[in-house]
Amino acid sequence: MSKKNGQLSVALFKYYITFLVVLSGIFVIAYIVVSVSLAKQVHNNKAPIYDLIRGEYNDYKDIDPSDLKKIGGYIEVLDLDKKVVYRKGELPDILKDNYTETEFIDIISRSGENAKYYVGCNSINAENGKDYIVLVRIPNEKVNVSLNIQKIPLQVGKPILFLYLKVVSIALIISLVSILGYSILTARKINKPLKMIDEALGKVLEGDYEEKLVIEGEREFVRISNTINFLIDKLKNSREENSRLEQSKTRMLIDLSHDIKTPITTIRGFSAALYEGLVDDEDKKQKYYKTIYNKSERVGELVDDLFEFVKMDSTQYILKIETVDICEFLRQIVVAYFDEIEEKKFELIVIIPEEVVNLKIDGRLFRRAVTNLIENSLKYNPEKTTLRIELKNYKRYIMIYVADNGIGIPLSIRSKVFEAFIRGDTSRGSDGGSGLGLAIANKIISNHGGEISLDPSKDEDKTIFAIRMYKDI
C-alpha cells in the first residue's frame, strides 16, 4: 500500500500544481487585459485627470476641472509673476491671489501646508503669446506613486530587486510546501479507507463473506462501504443458495435412485422366477405378473413426473395460455375424481360460486397442479376423511383451497413440503407417490405468476393447500 500511497500523493501534488498554475494564469491574463484596456483609455484621451497632470492642453480656458473637483482637487494658473489668473475645482477656504518666489518653491516641493497635496506643475503658451504656469493639486490619499524597477539601472534598483525576488521566492516555497503537505495529508486521509476496502475485497476474493466493512468518515466512503457490504451479503446468500441447491440435487439423485431401485429389484426378481420356471401355480404366476406390471407403472410414473419437473425449469418452456371459466374448470376436475373419492369413502365438500370467473391459464398444466393436490389427499389419508375443495373470488385475485382433516403433514417437513422427493413417509416406502407431485404443482403455479402455500391448520382442517391466482385486470 505504500507504493499506492506514494502514487496518490504524487497525483494529488500534480493536481494542485496544475490548479495553481491555471489560477495564476487567469490572474496574469486578467492583469494584462486590464493594463491594456487602461492604456488604451489613456491613449484615447478618456482620462481627463491624467491629461491635466501631463499638460495635454493649449489654453487654460479650455481646461475642464469637473473630474478633478470630484476627487477634491483644484487647478491654478499663474502668470510669470506668480499672480493667480485662473482657479477652478474644489477650492480650500483660504487662498492667495499671488505667490512669492519662496512660496512657489514651497508649493512645488510640497513643504509645510502644501504637503497634503500632490502637485503637478506645467507651463503653457497661450494663444495671446503669453506664458503661464499651471499647478494641478490632488489630495495625497487620491494619488498612488509607483516605481517601475524595470526602468531603473541595476546598480540603483538592486536592493529593491533583491527584496522583490526574496519575497517572491519565499512565497513560492511556502506555497509549494503547503501544497505538498496538503497532498500528503489528503493522501493519508484517503489511504486509510482505501486500505480497508482493499483488505475487504481481498477477503471476498478468498471466499470469506463473514466480516463486514465498517468505514467512518466521508459520506462517499460510507456509501462505498454500504455497497460492498450489500455485495458481500448477496455473494454470501448466493453461496448458501448454491450449497442448498447442490445438497438438494444430491438428495434428489439419492432419492431417485432409491425410488427406481426398489421397483426394479422387484421386477427383476419376479421376472427371473417366471423365466426360470420356478413358479408352477397359475394363481401365483398371475400375482407375479400383476406385481411386475404395477411396479413398471410405478417406474413409468416416476420417470414421467421427473421429466415434467425438469422440463419446467427450462427457459424454452412456454405456457399455452387460454382464457377459461375457472369455476367451471374446477367443477370438471371434481367430477373427474368423484368415483375415486367415493371409492375411498371420503366426504366431499365443494364450495364454488355460481358465476363466471375468467382466468388466463395453461389448462393442461393447471389441471395437473390441482389434481396433484387432490391425489395427495386421497393417497395419504384414511377412509372417511373430509375433503374440501373451495374457490373464493376477490377483486384482483382468486383463491383455491384443497383441504382435508386427515392425518396432516408432519411439522418436520411442512417448511420444505414443496421440494422434490419430500414425502410424509420417512421410510420412503414404495407404496407412496413419486415425491414430485407437490414440487410440480409449485412450479406450475409459480410459472403462472401465482402463489401456492401450505397454510396452518384451522378448525377441523389439518392440511390446507392454498393457491392464489391473480386476475388479468
Per-residue pLDDT reduced to its tens digit, 434-465: 567 788 889 889 989 999 999 888 878 889 99
The whole-number pLDDT of residue 4 equals: 46
Query: Rounded CA gap, 50 and 302, in Å?
Result: 111
Q: Percentage of the chain surpassing pLDDT 70?
A: 78
Measuring CA to CA, how many Å separate 131 from each of 52, 85, 314? Answer: 17, 12, 114
Measuring CA to CA, how many Å separate 216 from each of 213, 221, 225? Answer: 10, 8, 9
What are the residue ranges spanned by the domains of the chain? Answer: 2-43+148-192, 48-142, 220-310, 316-470
Q: Percentage of the chain surpassing pLDDT 90?
A: 15
Q: Given a cut of 70, is residue 9 above it in pLDDT?
A: no
The whole-number pLDDT of residue 404 equals: 93
Question: Whole-number mean pLDDT of the chain?
Answer: 78
The whole-number pLDDT of residue 151 equals: 61
Dihedral of the alpha carbons of 247, 249, 255, 256, in degrees to the nearest 10 = -170
Q: Given a cut of 60, is residue 89 above it in pLDDT?
A: yes
Q: Given a cut of 50, is residue 427 above it in pLDDT?
A: no
Average pLDDT over residues 228-250: 80
**Shortest CA distance to 267 belongs to which of 287, 285, 293?**
293
> Phi and psi dihedrals of 384, rounded to 5?
65, 20
Question: Does residue 333 contact residue 363 with C-beta atoms inside 8 Å?
Answer: no
Question: Does residue 357 contact residue 331 with C-beta atoms inside 8 Å?
Answer: no
pLDDT band at 393 (very low <50, low <70, confident <90, very high): very high
pTM of this prediction? 0.48
pLDDT band at 466 (very low <50, low <70, confident <90, very high): very high
CATH topology of domain 220-310: Helix Hairpins (1.10.287)
pLDDT band at 429 (very low <50, low <70, confident <90, very high): very low
Query: Rounded CA gap, 346 and 359, in Å?
Result: 29
The whole-number pLDDT of residue 430 equals: 46
143-147, 192-196, 392-396: the lowest-pLDDT one = 143-147
Written as one letter, the residue type at 266 is: T
Query: Rounded CA gap, 280 and 373, in Å?
Result: 43
Average pLDDT over residues 222-236: 84
**Would you say how long the chain is, in residues?**
473
Type and span of the H or E element at 13? helix 2-43
- What sections of 71-153 are H helices per DSSP? 101-109
Q: Are strands 386-393 and 397-404 parallel, antiparallel or unpaired?
A: antiparallel
The whole-number pLDDT of residue 2 equals: 44
Q: Residue 341: how many CB atoms within 10 A of its CB?
A: 18
Q: Given a cut of 50, is residue 99 above it in pLDDT?
A: yes
157-161, 173-177, 203-207, 390-394: the lowest-pLDDT one = 157-161
Q: What secondary structure letter does DSSP report for 356?
A: -
DSSP bridge pairs for 392: 399
Measuring CA to CA, how many Å separate 387 from each of 137, 322, 327, 422? Answer: 119, 28, 18, 22
Q: Are strands 84-89 and 74-79 parallel, antiparallel or unpaired?
A: antiparallel
pLDDT band at 137 (very low <50, low <70, confident <90, very high): confident
Q: Are strands 451-455 and 397-404 parallel, antiparallel or unpaired?
A: unpaired
The whole-number pLDDT of residue 73 equals: 85
What the block records as the C-alpha cell of 316 is 424454452
- Output the furthest CA–CA distance in the chain (Å, rounded): 168
47-51, 148-152, 249-253, 391-395: the lowest-pLDDT one = 47-51
Q: Given a cut of 70, is residue 321 above it in pLDDT?
A: yes
The whole-number pLDDT of residue 366 equals: 92
Yes or no: domain 316-470 corresponds to CATH 3.30.565.10? yes
Map grid coordinates 373430509 to a residue. Answer: 386
pLDDT band at 467 (very low <50, low <70, confident <90, very high): very high
pLDDT digits (tens, 9 = 90+) for 42-80: 555 444 555 555 555 556 666 777 777 888 888 888 888
Q: Do domains 220-310 and 316-470 have the same CATH topology?
A: no
- Residue 31 or residue 397, greater confidence: 397
Query: Rounded CA gap, 418 and 434, in Å?
Result: 13
DSSP bridge pairs for 464: 403, 455
pLDDT digits (tens, 9 = 90+) for 340-389: 899 889 999 999 999 999 999 999 889 989 988 998 899 889 999 999 99
Query: Rounded CA gap, 422 and 419, in Å?
Result: 6
**Shortest CA distance to 334 belongs to which of 291, 366, 305, 374?**
374
pLDDT band at 426 (very low <50, low <70, confident <90, very high): very low
Query: Rounded CA gap, 325 and 42, in Å?
Result: 97
Query: Rounded CA gap, 345 and 425, in Å?
Result: 22
Written as one letter, the residue type at 160 is: I
The whole-number pLDDT of residue 10 equals: 66
- Chain CA centroid to CA 272, Å: 69
Reduced to 3 states (helix: H, G, I; strand: E, B; else coil), residue 164 is helix
Average pLDDT over residues 277-287: 84
